[in-house]
Amino acid sequence: MPIQRRVGIGMDYSPSSKAALRWAVDNLVMDAEDQIIIIDVQSSKSNPPLKKLWENTGSPLIPLEEFRLIDVTKQYGITPDPEVLHILDTVSRKKGVNVIFKVYWGDSREKLCDAVGDLKLDSIVVGGRGLGGLKRILVGSVSNYVVKNATCPVTVVKGPPAMVV
């Protein structure tokens, strides 16, 4: 069956990236001909066993079924998030959508934009932390960078409001 759309989702397991995943599943991914690619960018400082092999190109595509295996996630230095896996299991089962993972190492902004070309994405969805103007200038905004530099449509989903204690 040919793939209709390839939707990339930037995933750092933060509340805003989980909101982006939920939004994409509810509003963008429609049927079994669509494909979700979870793009996980790990710090260049992390040093999992397979990093040296795949550092320049990113990991091979990892099907959801393989990603659930503890050995696979340890090889790539990832701790799977039960909520994310539940959302992906549900969309895979109910809509028949093909879900795969791709792991990169380095700067999230650059690697998310690289993924657009590498994976031939039709669109990419990222979470936004809702930084104000000054913080965005000082800290930098991944979502802002991706919007300005990606070569496909980008959707930024604002995360849930931060709780003030």
pLDDT of residue 90: 94
Provide the residue ranges of all domains of the chain, joining segments of one domain with +: 5-158
User: CATH topology for 5-158?
Assistant: Rossmann fold (3.40.50)
- Asked whether 58 and 64 are in contact (CB, 8 A), the reply is no
Q: Which of 5-14, 55-64, 112-121, 125-134 has the lowest mean pLDDT?
A: 125-134
Give the model's pLDDT for residue 1. 56
The residue written with tokens 């991706």 in the block is: 146
Is 70 exceeded by the pLDDT of residue 40? yes
Q: Flag the least confident range among 66-70, 87-91, 149-153.
A: 66-70
- Which of the four pLDDT bands, split at 50, 70 and 90, describes residue 20? very high
pLDDT for residue 59: 92
Instruction: Identify whether the C-beta of residue 24 lies closer than 8 Å to the C-beta of residue 36.
Output: yes
Name the pLDDT band for 139 (thresholds 50, 70, 90). Answer: very low
Spatial separation of the C-alpha atoms in residues 87 and 79, rounded to whole Å = 16
pLDDT band, very low/low/confident/very high, at 2 (cuts 50, 70, 90): low
Q: Which residue has the higher pLDDT, 117 or 44?
A: 117
**CB proximity list for 70: less than 8 A, separation 6 or greater:** none
- pLDDT above 80 (res 134): no
Confidence check: pLDDT of 69 > 80: yes
